[in-house]
Structure 1
Amino acid sequence: MQKTINYTLFGKKLIYIGFLLIGLQSIAQTKAKPNVIIIYTDDQGSVDLGCYGASDIYSPNIDQLAKQGTRFTQAYVAAPVCAPSRAALLTGKYPQKAGVHGNTSHVMGSDGMPGEQYTIAELFKNNNYKTAHIGKWHLGMSKKTGPNAQGFDYSFGHLRGCIDNYSHYFYWAGPNTHDLYENGKEVFYEGKYFPDLASDKALKFVEDHKEHPFFMYYAINMPHYPYQPTKKWREYYKDVEKPRGDYAAFISTIDERIGFLMDKLDALGIREETIIIYQSDNGYSTETRAFGGGGNSGPYRGGKSSLFEGGIRLPTIISWKNTLPKNRVNNEFLMNVDWLPTLANLCELKNIPKDIDGLDLSQMIKNSNSALPRKEAFWKYGNQWAVRKGNWKLIGYPKDTSHKGKLDATEDALFLSNLSEDVSEMKNLAHKYPQKVKELTAAFLQWEFGYEDDVPKKVEIIEHLGKSKKIKSIKELHKKYKNIDVLLDGKRGYKDFRSGQWVGQEGADLAFVIDLKKTQPITTIHLGYLQDPTNWIYPPINFEVSFSKDGTNFNKTTVSNSAIKTTKKGSLTGKLSIATRQKARFVKIHINGFGKIPKNYEGEGNNGWFFVDEIIVE
């Protein structure tokens, strides 16, 4: 006979209260860890916020975020362009170790950051956090390298580097392609303003997970071109000269949406439970599509694509209201790779990866008097590289995309600065402090990705039959590269296609005729070339030569060897050669271009570039 248990009303209440207490305890345990939001803006200048001294930009919400936390003055990113900077942030590694040397391909299905990389999202997810990516990805077009495969439970945004904010099409390399995805599935919101779509998705994610710890990577694709601020902010800056006006309006558009996020956190009562980091991915753009600028690097030289300070030293804030110090300016040296271990320690996460380059700065952030863990940092992008050790910084093959001053390709190939004395980097101290150059060069070479071939060598003049002779093009030159006299100046070019020492062509061939002034024996022709995959530059397929004594009747063409090595990564120079026995005054050279870049190479599907420097006639 089954025994019947009769609960009294009092007993039922006790049981109910017991379950309630257990439930509340469970919720309390679930929420014991803070939420984390990383706001990563795109192509924002070093001083382009009110809290960083910009008097012509209205950014009250971000400025308030700085007052509620710490604003850094020496915060760096690990690369001066979008994709490798993001790879460094998400993995805590230098981009080279993360497998992202430059911007990733826009071609659908192409791989980006290798799937085996362990990301900050995976770390938080493995510690019972809900994770989200909102906004820009730019780290792979294949399923295995997309956001959902890299630790994000939820993802909404575009996979390529930028989109039109209303049509959501990627227009910058044909064919024009729609680029808006939610959890890997293409979605359509024709005519709806992308910053608002992203903001709405971010607010919904926060609200849906208010009772569970979450990590959100909010990758805001502003003020990256196309400059498409809202009408409200365009009107606000109507009297500011363009492109500064449109750029500033875009910053205020960002600020307003960050205000929406802060209001949501306050309304949900979780602002004090949420760590917020704000940082730009690289300096402001001076590209044609950005109308040559709009941003401001303030006292710093350089912008996007440059390893001068203006390309990598950027607005950075951390705020954890009522837990971390507030209204503090921190002048210590840090890098975006440091956020992974720092956040892991602030959130008391388990199983923090060991094979990373980031350093835990949590004690330095909590207490400005604590010892600074970071003493040095390294950068490498294309043929540029830099090392900072203490206050000294050395750049190899520097580029000034801010155009604040001239650089001599030979004299400034190694550029030394003391940042404690001059943050402008306008004066090269390399000749004044040769021992410091040697010390920093040695530090670079000891770095895992620093190679002897990266270090500029003294330019030696090559004496040959064609040096300083007459050369003319018999095919259309690229409009940016018509300085064909450099092909016979006796100098091999540095590993920098922008140095003025190279002649380039995109998706087509080049052809020249050299006049040696008199008929003479010729035994060898060499053609110097550059390879720089991060800029979609590959060796020519080969070159062909024919010879003439009168400049009219040329003999049968001879084909050179092909490039010895066409690598997917890394920058190098090389030579193609032809051995011959001729007597001639005129030499005709036809250089066969790389054409379309094949699959799994940087820039796949686009027209490949090739760059040549010296045509050596022996």
Structure 2
Amino acid sequence: MPHDRPNILVLMTDQQRIGFTAAQGGPDAMPRTDALVRRGTRFPRAYTSAPACVPARTSLLTGRFPSAHRVRQNSTAQHALYSRDLLDVLREADYSLHFSGKPHMHPGPQDFDTFHGPFMHDGGPQETAEHAAFDSWLHDLDHAVAHEPTPFPVASQLPHRIVDGAIDAVDAADPARPFFLWVSFPEPHNPYQVPEPYFSLFPPDSVPERTAGPEVLDRLGWRFRWLHRLIEGKRPGFDAEWRRLRANYLGMLRLIDDQIARLLDHLGDTLEDTVVLVLSDHGDLVGEYGLQRKGAGLPDSLVRIPFGVCGPGVDRQEREELVSIVDVLPTLAELVGTGIPPGVQGRSLAPLLAGDDAPAEEFSSMYAEHGYGGVSYHEEDRPPLHFPYEGRSFDELNSVTQSGEMRMVVEGDLKLIVDDTGEAFLYDLREDPAELTNLIDAPQTAEARDALNRRLVQWLLRVADDLPVGAYRPSTPAHNWRWADPRP
């Protein structure tokens, strides 16, 4: 290693549902990425902070939950509130900083040594006429499910172009300094499209069965029904394509995997000196409940994420602790030897990566948030939106299904969700993975419900903001493990 700190590579997908790769019990959609993560530590019970791109990515960068960093919707990235973010921490540690892909975050090109982008779901920088033609075709697809192979080669696809930029960044990096490279793929987020051979790689009749279809909507919260009615009114019969959707989705994962493989091959021996994080910002319904994309509630299909770390000093293991995207900043801060910034709410996972025991009290539960604020709309409401009710286009992250406040806590196999109206849901994730049977009033769960309510109150206290820093110095435990008893 030419320097005393490891390089850092973040490989992030957008809207990747857990359970769609072989390592997660699904099809063999990402063999090279699965093999990479097997070299290190995998966290099969990882959660996002909120099931939306910008709030989740702001949590990764700041180590804070949305109610603290204040970015609670995709349109407010510039209002992120924090003391020092991940780029500040790494810059102070003399890292060169590089980005290629989809940003959806508060830093901009000026905050990196090299920046290749921005890429979004309908295109990016166009270096050839073929890029421009593909981007136009992608835009016209309007976030839908393609029923034919994409009529452009793999080299036009965004992951290929993003990895081109990542390879250029690696080649341009100063070898005397450690590098931080964030490679951010817009896929497998909608629009759901792939060229051959990926389009035919996972036939529709072979895709994983969904746990539940639209027949269960009456058993879910009103947000799911409102969103289903909105989409059905715009694209009647859209749910009939759920198998093609899943086939495309799996093909997109394999396309991403092949591009990750191209980057890893280019890194060569440099990979031995590099800590690699593999994760997504949030999940995707992928046809669950008769819905596509995201936008309603806090089901595990949206809030659980793939999360793995490998590299120097990282043990080969699978950990059962409940972890979060907010843990990325404090973990990297500890790995590179800097202090955890004030206001960080996540916990360093560095001891876990080294194979150390973890206090059960600190890692036996996890918390996530949902909602833009105000009070919740009602199922019959039809207020003005930022897009018209007429026509095919829609945004699942809208003023109605994202209204109000919703919080969740999961501990063991149980999950509690509450919202600002007082509605509450309690699910047994082992017995009811689709989260269809609400046990909140079941007599047999009364004791567990009370314990989860207490745990949720603890989390709400924990995510109260420590910023701004004032004259009084708070007690900050090692690794930011606030519930670990420091006494012998």
Whether TM exceeds 0.5 here: the answer is yes
Secondary structure of the corresponding residue to residue 73 of structure 1: coil
The answer on whether the counterparts of 1:416 and 1:429 sit within 8 Å (CA) in structure 2 is: yes
Secondary structure of the corresponding residue to residue 345 of structure 1: helix
Q: In structure 1, what residue type is equivalent to 2:326?
A: V
* Alignment counterpart, residue 37 of structure 2, candidates 58, 63, 66: 66
Q: CA shift at 1:384, angstroms?
A: 2.4
Change (3 A) 1:192 1:423: closer
The answer on whether the counterparts of 2:22 and 2:30 sit within 8 Å (CA) in structure 1 is: yes
The answer on whether the counterparts of 1:98 and 1:117 sit within 8 Å (CA) in structure 2 is: no
Does 1:394 find its partner at 2:416? yes
Does 1:163 find its partner at 2:122? yes
What is the aligned partner in structure 1 of residue 449 from structure 2? 437
Secondary structure of the corresponding residue to residue 302 of structure 2: helix
Does 1:196 find its partner at 2:160? yes
Give CA-to-partner distance per residue, 1:173-198, whole Å, 9 cap, x none: 99xxxxxxxxxxxxxxxx94322221
Secondary structure of the corresponding residue to residue 320 of structure 2: strand
Q: In structure 2, what residue type is equivalent to 1:362?
A: A
Secondary structure of the corresponding residue to residue 37 of structure 1: strand
What is the aligned partner in structure 2 of residue 315 from structure 1? 306
Change (3 A) 1:214 1:282: same
What is the aligned partner in structure 2 of residue 254 from structure 1? 256
Give CA-to-partner distance per residue, 1:108-162, whole Å, 9 cap, x none: xxx63437653212211111001122111123xxxxx44235x433222227x52
What is the aligned partner in structure 1 of residue 326 from structure 2? 337
Does 1:416 find its partner at 2:426? yes
Q: CA shift at 1:207, angstroms?
A: 2.2
Give 1 or 2: higher strand fraction.
Answer: 1
Give CA-to-partner distance per residue, 1:73-104, whole Å, 9 cap, x none: 11111011111111111110002211211222
Q: CA shift at 1:375, angstroms?
A: 4.2
Does 1:385 find its partner at 2:407? yes
Change (3 A) 1:32 1:101: same
Aligned mates of 1:153, 1:229 — CA distance in 2:
32
Q: CA shift at 1:315, angstroms?
A: 1.5
What is the aligned partner in structure 2 of residue 121 from structure 1? 87
Q: CA shift at 1:390, angstroms?
A: 5.4
Aligned residues: 367
Aligned mates of 2:315, 2:363 — CA distance in 1:
20
Give CA-to-partner distance per residue, 1:546-595, whole Å, 9 cap, x none: xxxxxxxxxxxxxxxxxxxxxxxxxxxxxxxxxxxxxxxxxxxxxxxxxx
Change (3 A) 1:68 1:280: same
Aligned mates of 2:407, 2:114 — CA distance in 1:
36
Change (3 A) 1:116 1:155: farther
Give 1 or 2: higher helix fraction.
Answer: 2
Secondary structure of the corresponding residue to residue 112 of structure 2: coil
Aligned mates of 1:233, 1:286 — CA distance in 2:
17
Aligned mates of 1:377, 1:92 — CA distance in 2:
14
Change (3 A) 1:235 1:418: closer
Give CA-to-partner distance per residue, 1:480-534, whole Å, 9 cap, x none: xxxxxxxxxxxxxxxxxxxxxxxxxxxxxxxxxxxxxxxxxxxxxxxxxxxxxxx
Q: CA shift at 1:356, angstroms?
A: 0.7
Change (3 A) 1:116 1:317: closer
Note the aligned Cα RMSD (angstroms).
Answer: 3.3
Secondary structure of the corresponding residue to residue 48 of structure 1: coil
What is the aligned partner in structure 2 of residue 148 from structure 1? 109
The answer on whether the counterparts of 1:229 and 1:250 sit within 8 Å (CA) in structure 2 is: yes
What is the aligned partner in structure 2 of residue 278 from structure 1? 278
- Structure 1 residue ranges without an equivalent (≥5): 1-26, 106-110, 140-144, 175-190, 296-302, 399-408, 452-618
What is the aligned partner in structure 2 of residue 133 from structure 1? 99
Aligned mates of 2:85, 2:409 — CA distance in 1:
25
Q: CA shift at 1:284, angstroms?
A: 1.3
Aligned mates of 1:222, 1:116 — CA distance in 2:
28
Q: In structure 2, what residue type is equivalent to 1:329?
A: E
Change (3 A) 1:309 1:68: same
Aligned mates of 2:158, 2:29 — CA distance in 1:
21
Give CA-to-partner distance per residue, 1:373-392, whole Å, 9 cap, x none: 33443322113221234554
Change (3 A) 1:437 1:239: closer
Percent of aligned positions that are identical = 25
* Alignment counterpart, residue 51 of structure 1, candidates 20, 23, 33: 23
What is the aligned partner in structure 2 of residue 24 from structure 1? none
Change (3 A) 1:154 1:115: farther
Aligned mates of 1:98, 1:67 — CA distance in 2:
33
Secondary structure of the corresponding residue to residue 425 of structure 1: coil
Aligned mates of 1:152, 1:307 — CA distance in 2:
33
What is the aligned partner in structure 2 of residue 356 from structure 1? 344
What is the aligned partner in structure 1 of residue 4 from structure 2? 32
- TM-score, with length taken from structure 2: 0.67
Q: CA shift at 1:253, angstroms?
A: 0.6
Q: In structure 2, what residue type is equivalent to 1:152?
A: F
The answer on whether the counterparts of 2:69 and 2:81 sit within 8 Å (CA) in structure 1 is: no
What is the aligned partner in structure 1 of residue 437 from structure 2? 427
What is the aligned partner in structure 2 of residue 499 from structure 1? none
Q: Please list, as runs of the form range in 1=range in 2, the aligned pairs for 1:544-583 lying within 5 A after superposition.
A: none
What is the aligned partner in structure 1 of residue 193 from structure 2? 228
Q: In structure 1, what residue type is equivalent to 2:246?
A: R
Q: Which has the larger radius of gyration?
A: 1
Aligned mates of 1:236, 1:389 — CA distance in 2:
38
The answer on whether the counterparts of 1:58 and 1:252 sit within 8 Å (CA) in structure 2 is: yes
What is the aligned partner in structure 1 of residue 179 from structure 2? 214
Large movers: runs of 4+ above 6 Å: none
What is the aligned partner in structure 2 of residue 371 from structure 1? 359
The answer on whether the counterparts of 1:233 and 1:253 sit within 8 Å (CA) in structure 2 is: yes
The answer on whether the counterparts of 1:90 and 1:119 sit within 8 Å (CA) in structure 2 is: yes
Q: In structure 2, what residue type is equivalent to 1:262?
A: L
Aligned mates of 1:245, 1:329 — CA distance in 2:
28
Does 1:324 find its partner at 2:314? yes
Q: In structure 1, what residue type is equivalent to 2:91?
A: K
Aligned mates of 1:130, 1:39 — CA distance in 2:
17
Q: CA shift at 1:449, angstroms?
A: 9.5
Aligned mates of 2:348, 2:251 — CA distance in 1:
36
Q: In structure 1, what residue type is equivalent to 2:409?
A: V
Aligned mates of 1:33, 1:60 — CA distance in 2:
29
Secondary structure of the corresponding residue to residue 395 of structure 1: strand
- Structure 2 residue ranges without an equivalent (≥5): 125-130, 143-154, 206-242, 372-404, 465-488
Aligned mates of 2:67, 2:462 — CA distance in 1:
7
Aligned mates of 1:274, 1:238 — CA distance in 2:
36
Q: In structure 1, what residue type is equivalent to 2:113?
A: D
Change (3 A) 1:127 1:358: same
Q: CA shift at 1:418, angstroms?
A: 4.5
Change (3 A) 1:223 1:117: farther
Change (3 A) 1:375 1:60: closer
